Structure 1
Amino acid sequence: MNTTDDTLTYVYAAALLTKDLRDAAGSLRGIYGSPVLFLTAGPTATQPALGFATSHVPHRDFSEHALKNHFEDLDWLESVARAHHDVVQALSLHATVLPLRMATVYQDDDRARQALAEQHNAFADRIAQLADHTEFGVKIYLASTTAPPDTGPAADAGNTPGKAYLQRRRAQHNAQEAVYSQAQKAAAAIDAITSRYASQRVRHPTQSGTLSGPAENVLNDAYLIPDPYAEQFQAAIAEAAGVFDDVRVEVTGPWAPYSFAMPPAERHNAATGEERTP
Structure 2
Amino acid sequence: MSDLLTYAYAVVRNAEGLREATAPLRGVAESPVSLLTDTGDDQLGLAVSHVPGQDFQEDALKQHLEDLEWLEAVARAHHGVIEALGERTTVLPLRLATVYLDDNRAREVLEAGRTMFAGRLARLSEHVEWGVKIYVESSAALAEPTVPAADLTPGRAYLRNRRQQQSVRDTVYQAAQKAAERVEAAGRRHASDRVRHRVQQGLLADAAGAVGENVVNDAYLVPLKRCDGFLADVAHAADGLDGVRVEATGPWAPYSFAMPLDESGGAAAAEGAPP
* 1:104 maps onto 2:119 in alignment: no
| Secondary structure in 1 matching 2:242 | coil
* 1:208 maps onto 2:204 in alignment: no
| Secondary structure in 2 matching 1:192 | helix
Match of 2:242 in 1: 245
Alpha-carbon distance in structure 1 between the residues aligned to 2:98 and 2:204: 24
Match of 1:113 among 91, 95, 107: 107
Output aligned runs, 1:147-226, within 5 Å.
147-149=143-145, 151=147, 155-212=148-205, 213-226=210-223
Listed as ranges, the gaps of 5+ residues in structure 1 are 274-278
Cα RMSD for the two superposed structures? 1.8
Please report how far the alpha carbon of residue 270 of structure 1 lies from its aligned counterpart in structure 2 after TM superposition: 4.9
Residue type matched to 1:172 in 2? Answer: Q
Q: 1:116 to 1:18 in 2, by over 3 A?
A: same
* 1:261 maps onto 2:254 in alignment: no
Match of 1:63 among 57, 63, 68: 57
Match of 1:130 among 106, 119, 124: 124
Answer yes or no: is the 8 Å Cα contact 2:137–2:211 preserved in 1.
no
Listed as ranges, the gaps of 5+ residues in structure 2 are 268-275
| Secondary structure in 2 matching 1:87 | helix
Alpha-carbon distance in structure 1 between the residues aligned to 2:89 and 2:60: 33
| Secondary structure in 1 matching 2:160 | helix
Residue by residue, what CA displacement relative to the aligned partner does 1:140-161 show, whole Å, maximum 9, x if unpaired?
A: 111122243464xxx5211111
Match of 2:270 in 1: none
Match of 1:142 among 111, 123, 136: 136
Answer yes or no: is the 8 Å Cα contact 1:206–1:220 preserved in 2.
yes
Match of 2:233 in 1: 236
Alpha-carbon distance in structure 2 between the residues aligned to 1:106 and 1:67: 13
Residue type matched to 1:242 in 2? Answer: D
Alpha-carbon distance in structure 2 between the residues aligned to 1:239 and 1:180: 17
Residue by residue, what CA displacement relative to the aligned partner does 1:175-212 show, whole Å, maximum 9, x if unpaired?
A: 11110110011111111111111111111111111323
Alpha-carbon distance in structure 1 between the residues aligned to 2:25 and 2:264: 31
Alpha-carbon distance in structure 2 between the residues aligned to 1:211 and 1:244: 26
Please report how far the alpha carbon of residue 37 of structure 1 lies from its aligned counterpart in structure 2 after TM superposition: 0.7
* Count of aligned positions: 261
Q: 1:150 to 1:241 in 2, by over 3 A?
A: closer
Please report how far the alpha carbon of residue 221 of structure 1 lies from its aligned counterpart in structure 2 after TM superposition: 0.8
* 1:41 maps onto 2:38 in alignment: yes
Please report how far the alpha carbon of residue 239 of structure 1 lies from its aligned counterpart in structure 2 after TM superposition: 2.1
Residue type matched to 2:178 in 1? Answer: K
Alpha-carbon distance in structure 1 between the residues aligned to 2:240 and 2:122: 38
